[in-house]
């Protein structure tokens, strides 16, 4: 089916690259750039569950001019289907209970190098990278332990004889044990761990230790132990040379018990060492002026064009073409996102002449609650339960306001896409929402996480909606915000160089 069946033979590279002098299409020649292995469990090119997929597609590309960045991702079906020409370049030996697998190598059409960890039994499944409708995959510790251990082996040059990393960059719990494996093997390769969401920690029973080849003496408070369980994320936070998260405010919040998910003590320690910082995400170069999937393209100031998109979305959902504002939600439907506050506020918003459209998918009970409540008022409330990128963009373009009352939000991308399309975000003042929405200028923030808090901001939004000049001004401010990756990529670049320099 794919190059997976090819026998490993060093020197035979069906991707046409000479292993000794391979050049990425993007960026400067690899010999001039420091080498970074970027490990991720999702990437929009292939498979995406949340914002991590978008960051993993955008950040390595934004860094490619300055660094020889290579992404390592598990060989999910979607990856193999996208790269039928994948070269199998090496065998990856078994480690403790982690099965032997193979390493593939390919490039995206714009030249980004991607290493693919090949193990049909671990990664080629129906469902998301993390599970299916019945829950998480039961062998996730093996699947992502395998990923982390392979990353460490690749980083030290033990797998691809032509490439070793100057630094590894792990992301979230699925690759968080990479810095730990490096340390346990005695390697000194510097490491960065980015926490995209502290709430997902990768916790497993202590029986997993032996399967994962974790040294017994690492199962302690100063190590991977977390209340008698093995925590992937804690291991990463403990062993990484530097820990980042995806906004300044979230970097502070996680050092306090309220948002620290039990790891605030360790995070405080890392912050005190100067080893924890926030680097806010960017978004890709989406432009509502040129997106062909919109009813019509529009630029800042072209409010007629925006209105055409609003009418189109209302027609698509069977909503009345009223004079009131259209509120949107584009979100994973999980507890974090505070959808329950919107459900509590929905009737009030509809009574005041507002309409709400939800595009989202996630936990079945939240999906069901949205469906059931929205079915009661079909002219004002509508939902698409599922995942649809094009519909999401049409909704950003067509809505006046975005509702995002997240309980916590490490960064959040939806509020940035919304601003780019002139949909003013109404957000809880937390994490990246606090850092990327300017209250009263590009959106509305509320402090108290209650339905009253939310409705206070919604009332301000109604007021602005009814004052055309104020609405126009805020939309212009929002659409002119710079959410590009350049500054953040430069911040990662400096961090990498510091890590490499301190080795």
Count of residues touching ligand ADP (by CB under 6 A): 18
- CA of 139: how far to CAs of 14, 196, 236, 330, in Å? 32, 22, 19, 31
Q: Which residues of 103-119 are buried (b: 16+ CB within 10 A; e: fewer)?
A: bbbbbbeeebbbbbbbb
| Diameter of the chain measured on Cα atoms | 69
Among 357, 368, 350, 375, CA closest to 315: 357
Among 303, 387, 407, 476, binds ligand ADP (CB under 6 A): 387
Among 17, 30, 33, 50, binds ligand GLC (CB under 6 A): 50
The structure tokens listed for 416 are: 């940035």
Contact between 359 and ligand ADP by CB under 6 A: the answer reads yes
Could you say which residues in the range 277-336 bind ligand GLC, by CB under 6 A? 281
Among 104, 278, 338, 412, binds ligand ADP (CB under 6 A): 412
Give SS3 for 348.
helix
Among 24, 33, 42, 51, binds ligand GLC (CB under 6 A): 51
Among 34, 35, 36, 50, binds ligand ADP (CB under 6 A): 50
**In this structure, are residues 192 and 63 in contact, taking their beta carbons and an 8 Å threshold?**
no
Could you say which residues in the range 169-198 bind ligand GLC, by CB under 6 A? 196-197
Q: How many whole angstroms separate alpha carbon 70 and alpha carbon 56?
A: 11
Binding window for ligand ADP (CB under 6 A); candidates: 48-56, 222-230, 263-271, 367-375: 48-56
Q: How many whole angstroms separate alpha carbon 433 and alpha carbon 331?
A: 14
417 binds, among ligand ADP, ligand GLC, none (CB under 5 to 8 A by kind): ligand ADP
Contact between 313 and ligand ADP by CB under 6 A: the answer reads no
- CA of 253: how far to CAs of 53, 108, 234, 271, 302, in Å? 23, 37, 17, 12, 39
Binding window for ligand GLC (CB under 6 A); candidates: 8-16, 50-58, 124-132, 482-490: 50-58
Contact between 413 and ligand ADP by CB under 6 A: the answer reads yes
Q: Which residue is nearest to ligand ADP (CB)?
A: 51
Contact between 40 and ligand ADP by CB under 6 A: the answer reads no
As to burial, measured by CB atoms within 10 angstroms (0-12 exposed, 13-18 middle, 19+ buried), residue 179 is buried
Nearer to ligand ADP, 290 or 467 (CB): 290
Among 91, 388, 452, 487, binds ligand ADP (CB under 6 A): 388
Contact between 355 and ligand ADP by CB under 6 A: the answer reads no
The structure tokens listed for 227 are: 């209340």
Torsion, CA 23, CA 26, CA 31, CA 36, rounded to 10: -110
Residues that bind ligand GLC (CB under 6 A): 50-52, 55, 196-197, 246, 281, 409-413, 432
Residues that bind ligand ADP (CB under 6 A): 50-51, 54, 330-332, 359-361, 387-389, 392, 411-414, 417
């Amino acid at each position: 089916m794919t190059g997976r069946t090819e026998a490993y033979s060093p020197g035979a590279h069906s991707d046409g690259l000479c292993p000794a002098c391979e050049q990425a299409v993007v960026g400067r020649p690899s010999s001039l750039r420091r080498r970074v292995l970027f490990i991720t469990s999702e990437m929009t090119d292939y498979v995406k569950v949340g914002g991590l997929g978008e960051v993993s597609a955008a950040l390595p590309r934004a860094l490619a001019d300055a660094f020889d960045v290579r992404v390592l991702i598990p060989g999910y079906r979607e990856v193999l289907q996208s790269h039928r020409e994948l070269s199998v370049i090496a065998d990856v030996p078994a480690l403790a209970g982690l099965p032997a697998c193979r390493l593939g190598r390919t490039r995206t059409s714009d030249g980004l190098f991607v290493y693919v960890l090949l193990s049909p039994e671990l990664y080629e499944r129906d469902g998301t990278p993390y599970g299916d409708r019945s829950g998480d995959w039961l062998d996730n510790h093996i699947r992502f332990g395998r990923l982390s251990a392979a990353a460490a082996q690749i980083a030290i040059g033990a797998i691809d004889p032509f490439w070793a990393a100057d630094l590894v960059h792990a992301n979230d719990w699925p690759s968080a044990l990479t810095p730990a494996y490096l340390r346990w093997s005695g390697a000194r390769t510097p490491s960065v761990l980015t926490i995209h969401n502290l709430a997902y920690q990768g916790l497993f029973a202590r029986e997993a230790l032996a399967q994962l080849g974790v040294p017994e003496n690492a199962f302690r408070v100063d190590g991977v132990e977390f209340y008698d369980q093995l925590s992937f994320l804690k291991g990463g936070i403990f062993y990484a040379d530097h820990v980042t998260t995806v906004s300044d405010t979230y970097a502070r919040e996680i050092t306090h018990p309220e948002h620290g998910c039990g790891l605030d003590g360790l995070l405080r320690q890392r912050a005190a060492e100067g080893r924890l910082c926030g680097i806010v995400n960017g978004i890709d170069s989406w432009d509502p002026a040129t997106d062909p999937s919109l009813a019509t393209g529009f630029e800042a100031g072209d409010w007629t064009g925006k209105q055409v998109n609003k009418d189109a979305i209302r027609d698509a959902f069977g909503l009345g073409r009223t004079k009131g504002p259209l509120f949107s939600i584009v979100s994973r439907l999980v507890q974090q996102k505070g959808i329950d506050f919107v459900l509590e506020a929905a009737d009030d918003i509809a009574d005041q002449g507002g309409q709400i459209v939800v595009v989202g998918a996630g936990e079945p009970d939240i999906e069901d609650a949205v469906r059931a409540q929205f079915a009661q008022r079909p002219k004002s409330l509508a939902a698409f339960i599922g995942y649809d990128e094009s519909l999401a963009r049409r909704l950003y373009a067509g809505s006046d306001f975005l509702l995002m009352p997240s309980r916590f939000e490490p960064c959040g991308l939806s509020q940035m896409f919304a601003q780019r399309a002139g949909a003013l975000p109404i957000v809880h003042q937390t994490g990246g929402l606090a850092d990327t929405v300017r209250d009263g200028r590009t959106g509305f923030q509320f402090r108290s996480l209650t339905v009253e808090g939310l409705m206070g901001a919604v009332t301000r939004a109604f007021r602005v909606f009814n004052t055309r000049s104020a609405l126009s001004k805020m939309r212009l401010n929002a659409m002119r915000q710079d959410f590009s990756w350049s500054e953040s990529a430069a911040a990662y670049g400096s961090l990498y160089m510091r890590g490499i320099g301190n080795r």
